[in-house]
Amino acid sequence: MATEQTFSILKPDATRRNLTGAINAVYEKAGLRIVAQKRIQMSQAMAETFYGVHKERPFFKDLVSFMISGPVVVQVLEGENAVAHHRELMGATNPANAAEGTVRKLFAESIEANSVHGSDSLENAAIEIAYFFAGSEIVG
């Protein structure tokens, strides 16, 4: 297995409930290293661009409103097989379907306010990381 970097967001429902440390503890206990991290307020334009792939979906407008409803923490996580490993730790999109012990099972409020984002491929991880971080901000 190769060492990979993936892109992660702790969403507004997580920052609002002061859960950033609890979620980071899940990631760190599982061996993912947080090699970049910052707390930001996404603009509407940023959220629309970031979720552009979903722009024809019925939930797009609500999703963008949710993502700008409060601060988010954007991160780069590094580890063996990090993209798939992180998705496994996150659990299913809908917390009702998420496995025991996953971040979404533990913390998500709903299918929309589901606490975390993670890149779904190595290719998208590189695109998403570059959208939020300068190379100099990532320190392995």
Going by the annotation, the residues of the binding site for ATP are: 11, 59, 87, 93, 104, 114
CB of 136 to ligand RTP, least distance (A): 26
Which one of the spans 25-33, 39-47, 95-103, 107-115 is the region binding ligand RTP (CB under 6 A)? 107-115
In whole angstroms, what is the distance from residue 63 CA to residue 33 CA? 28
Specify the residue, 19 or 139, whose C-beta has the smaller distance to ligand RTP: 19
Q: What is the C-alpha to C-alpha distance for residues 99 and 102, in angstroms, rounded to an integer?
A: 6
Q: In what order do the strands lie in the sheet with 3-10?
A: 33-40, 72-80, 3-10, 116-118
Is beta strand 116-118 parallel, antiparallel or unpaired with respect to 72-80?
unpaired
Considering beta carbons, is residue 43 or 93 the nearer one to ligand RTP? 93
Q: Least distance in Å: CB of 68 to ligand RTP?
A: 13
Quote the least distance from Cβ 74 to ligand RTP, whole Å.
Answer: 12
Q: Is 117 one of the annotated active-site residues of the chain?
A: yes
**Cα dist from 33 to 54, 65, 120, whole Å:** 29, 30, 18
- Chain residues 47-66 in contact with ligand RTP, contact rule CB under 6 A: 59, 63
Is the CB of residue 20 less than 8 Å from the CB of residue 11?
Answer: no
Binding of residue 117 to ligand RTP (CB under 6 A): yes
Triad 113, 105, 57: Cα angle to 5°: 40
* Contacting residues toward ligand RTP, per CB under 6 A: 59, 63, 93, 111-112, 114, 117-118, 120
